[in-house]
Chain A
Amino acid sequence: MSMLLRSWQGTGALILCLVALARLPLLSPEASAPFGSGTTAMILLLVVVGALASFLRMQEAALAGILFVAAHFTAWLLIAGLSGNEGQANLSFFLLVAACWLLGWRCISVLAEIRPKTGGASTALRLLIPAIFGAWVLILWEAITRGAGVPFILLPPPSAIWERIIGSVSILAADVRQTIFKAVLFGYAVGCAAGFIVAILADRVAFLRRGLLPIGNLMSALPIIGVAPIMVMWFGFDWQSKAAVVIVMTFFPMLVNTVAGLGASGAMERDLMRSYASDYWQTLIKLRLPAAMPFIFNALKINSTLALIGAIVAEFFGTPIVGMGFRISTEIGRMNVDMVWAEIAVAAVIGSVFYGVIALAERATTFWHPSNRGG
């Protein structure tokens, strides 16, 4: 067995390094605080060491560790050297960022090859790989916006967004309280519950089933967000009108999915209940609702994103001076793009947590479904 591995990322990093060496310096001559020659040498050395290591046959964890340090420490040195030199980066700077990225890529592929023996290690690895991946999105974003001097209005660097989040925690908290804890959660709970109850009624009452359901199918396909200004007229500027928008948006997906789910149980299972002389409610609770759970959770997941969109966009049409949608629409007018991004980041985190909680509840409830059995 050969002592060397093939590593196209390593080869690529070495080539990028050579070209970068030929095109030094890293920053244009007008830069106010150029890289010292020691730092430059260290950056090049780290990339070369990381690239060479990727060719060696060694323990995967050790290799991943070397690549991790080489890629991320170098990227940190490069980005740290940018402060005071925004927009002054030369081609060689970007080539070295690209080389680091290749090493990071290699690091992820090495990690993905590891087959851990313990459950804890496997969980850690499952979290680590996407974390590194996500970190590189931010690193590239930061290096490109600051290195190339992308106008702040177009795209602020993540560091500026982070500073804005830290600096405006109280404003963000008030906005979250107004938009998420009042409009979204209330609207989501009421909308989903109403959709569910009407679905059961439609199952019982032929009039609703034949009259309402076709309309429900139609409505769930419409961009209901258009009713937001009307809801503001009806229910006023405060959170109630936003909750109303969320209720309208979440109602129909829940209705349509629950009805579909109630029809999901098999003919044989229903014959079985009939053979026990089971009444309507017994069959509903013991057979049809459990069988409908995958559909109901589907609606809960769709609605978690719809509710967030509905509440934020509804605030564009009139609101008291607090709320995530209000902040986004006013701060973009004042060119405070970092605040807009800060709200987007907070919304993204809350949306992910919201979705994640529902997905966990789904795994616990529909563990029996063929799509979940493996885990």
Chain B
Amino acid sequence: MNTSPTPVVSARKLGLTFQTNDGPVHALSDVDLEVSKGDFVSFIGPSGCGKTTFLRVIADLEKNTSGEISINGMTPEEARKSRSYGYVFQAPALYPWRTIEKNIALPLEIMGHSKAERKERIERTLDLVNLAGFSKKYPWQLSGGMQQRASIARALAFDADLLLMDEPFGALDEIVRDHLNAQLLKLWAATSKTICFVTHSIPEAVYLSTKIVVMSPRPGRVTDIIESTLPRERPLEIRETPEFLDIAQRVREGLRAGHSYEE
């Protein structure tokens, strides 16, 4: 499937079952996936399909109950302890008692970077997300889109090669989302990071990704993996091209094959 020598994420027969009062819930079952360096992988599917759970297993925020997963050749726990990924949540989760720059400094403080280095990294990442003038503001003084950009800057600040993003733009309106999607692509091109991106928007998945993982619920599983044929350079207008619509159609078919459109 993938011939790259260093898969960033490699999952074999991965399964996760939650024990609940209503019996076991199969959040993930038999997931096989490889993510290579520099990929932009989107996970798409209806709610309950396990796309967020899969991201959380990569991040060692959940433990798989069967199968194997390795991140850069390490177990998820080792990968987390060696700080090899940055995680962007559905909500910005900025600390309201810290200014934007202090929020970005948070992981750097925890990881023991020097003051001068923190300053340099804060400036660099704020530039990357176009928030340079807002370093002294508190999160609640910024708009939702700016807050989410700040949280991306926070995930970028400590230079992890892998960026895990869990519906980061889900709560934003479509205009802001378009803008941030374009910015995210630029950022990806500028930093050459590997990005795993959870979304429930088909256009967003097609526009951003080099690889689209289509998932379906009950049990959560992968129904299709689509390699994008779009060029890496993607203006917003690419979404009107036949090629784009073609890939979107394939995603829709994958969702239908997984019975995702049924009740």
Contacts of B96 in A (CB 8 A): 368-369
Whether B59 contacts A286 by the Cβ 8 Å rule is no
Does residue A159 face the partner (Cβ distance < 8 Å to B)?
no
In the complex, what residues of A have CB within 8 A of residue B244's CB? none
B interface, over-half SS: loop
B138 CB within 8 Å of chain A:
yes
CA of A105 to CA of B97, assembled, Å: 42
User: Given A268-B91, A368-B96 in contact, is the A276-B111 Cβ separation under 8 Å?
Assistant: yes
A277-B80, A290-B97, A368-B138 known; A271+B106 contact, CB < 8 A: no
Q: Considering the complex, give the chain A residue whose CB is closest to the CB of B91.
A: A268
Q: Which of A255-306 contact B (CB under 8 A)?
A: 266, 268-269, 271-278, 282, 286-287, 290, 293
Query: Shortest beta-carbon distance, A127 to chain B, in Å?
Result: 29
Taking the closest CB of chain A, its distance from the CB of B51, in whole angstroms, is 16
Pairwise interchain contact A276-B110, C-beta atoms closer than 8 A? yes
| Among B25-33, B81-89, B120-128, B250-258, the stretch in contact with A | B81-89
Q: Which residues of A contact B18 (CB under 8 A)?
A: none
Cβ-defined partner of B80 (8 Å) among A275, A282, A293: A275
Q: In the bound complex, do residue A266 and residue B80 qualify as a contact, i.e. CB atoms below 8 Å apart?
A: no
Is the pair B107, A373 in contact by a Cβ cutoff of 8 Å?
Answer: no
**Cβ contact within 8 Å between A276 and B97:** no
A272 and B87: CB pair below 8 A?
Answer: yes
The number of residues on chain A lying at the interface, defined by a beta carbon within 8 Å of a beta carbon of chain B, is 22
Residue B109 CB within 8 A of the other chain: yes
Contact at B81–A271, with CB atoms within 8 Å?
Answer: no
Interface size on B, residues (CB 8 A): 25
Residue of B nearest to A366 (CB): B97
Question: Bound complex: CA of A277 vs CA of B80, how far in Å?
Answer: 6
Q: Which residues of A contact B85 (CB under 8 A)?
A: 275
Cβ of B140 within 8 Å of any chain A Cβ, yes or no, is: yes
A274, B76: Cα distance in complex, Å: 12
For the complex, give the distance between the alpha carbons of A320 and B51 in Å.
72
Within 8 A of A (CB), among B44-92: 59-61, 80-83, 85-87, 89-91
Asked whether A277 and B83 contact (CB < 8 A) given A282-B110, A286-B110, A368-B138, the answer is: yes
Q: How far is the CB of A370 from chain B (nearest CB, A)?
A: 8
Q: Are A290 and B95 in contact (CB under 8 A)?
A: yes
- Whether B61 and A276, one on each chain, are in contact in the complex, defined by CB atoms closer than 8 angstroms, is no
Contacts of B61 in A (CB 8 A): 271, 274-275
B-side contacts of A287, CB under 8 Å: 95
CB distance from B90 to the nearest CB of A (A): 8
Which residues in chain A, 149-165, are within 8 Å of chain B measured between CB atoms?
none
* Complex: A282 Cα to B108 Cα, angstroms: 12
A275, A286, A370: the one within 8 Å of B109 (CB): A286
CA distance A370 to B111 in the complex (A): 30
Given contacts A268-B89, A268-B91, contact A274 B80 (CB under 8 A): yes
Contact with B along A185-211 (1 / 0, CB 8 A): 000000000000000000000000000
Total A-B residue contacts, Cβ distance less than 8 Å: 53
Q: A271 — which chain B residues lie within 8 A by C-beta? A: 61, 87, 89
Q: Considering the chains assembled together, what is the distance between the CA atoms of A286 and B59 in angstroms? A: 21
Interface residues in B136-180 by Cβ distance below 8 A to A read 138, 140, 158
Beta-carbon nearest neighbor of A269 in chain B? B93
Q: Inside 8 A of B158's CB, which chain A residues have their CB?
A: 276
A5 to B81, CA, bound (A): 73
Assess whether A275 is in contact with B93, with CB atoms less than 8 Å apart: no
Interface residues of A in 349-375 (CB under 8 A from B): 366-370, 373
A266 near B110 with CB under 8 A, answer no
Within 8 A of B (CB), among A232-252: none
Known: A271-B61, A369-B96. A276 touches B107 (CB 8 A): yes
Q: Which residues of A contact B107 (CB under 8 A)?
A: 276
Query: B138 — which chain A residues lie within 8 A by C-beta?
Result: 368
Give CA–CA (A275, B89) in the complex, Å.
Answer: 11
| Least distance between B125 CB and chain A CB atoms (Å) | 15
For A368, list chain B residues within 8 Å (CB): 96-97, 138, 140
- Contact assessment for A278 and B140 in the assembled complex, using a CB-CB cutoff below 8 Å: no
Query: Closest residue to B97 on the A side, CB-wise?
Result: A368
Q: Which residues of B contact A282 (CB under 8 A)?
A: 110
- Smallest Cβ-Cβ distance to A266: which chain B residue: B93
Q: In the complex the two chains form, what is the Cα distance from A267 to B85 in whole Å?
A: 19
Q: Quick one: given A269-B95, A373-B140, are A278 and B110 in contact (CB under 8 Å)? A: yes
What chain B residues lie within 8 Å of A286 (beta carbons)? Answer: 95, 106, 109-110
User: Interface on A for B, CB 8 Å cutoff?
Assistant: 266, 268-269, 271-278, 282, 286-287, 290, 293, 366-370, 373
What 5 pairs between A and B have smallest CB-CB spacing? A368-B96, A368-B97, A275-B87, A268-B93, A278-B110
16 other contacts beyond A276-B107, A277-B110, A373-B140, with CB at 8 A cut-off? Answer: A268-B91, A268-B93, A269-B93, A272-B89, A272-B93, A274-B60, A274-B61, A274-B80, A276-B83, A277-B83, A287-B95, A366-B97, A367-B97, A368-B96, A368-B138, A370-B140
A sample of 14 inter-chain contacts (CB < 8 A) reads A266-B93, A268-B89, A268-B91, A269-B93, A271-B61, A271-B87, A271-B89, A274-B60, A275-B61, A276-B107, A277-B82, A277-B110, A286-B106, A368-B140
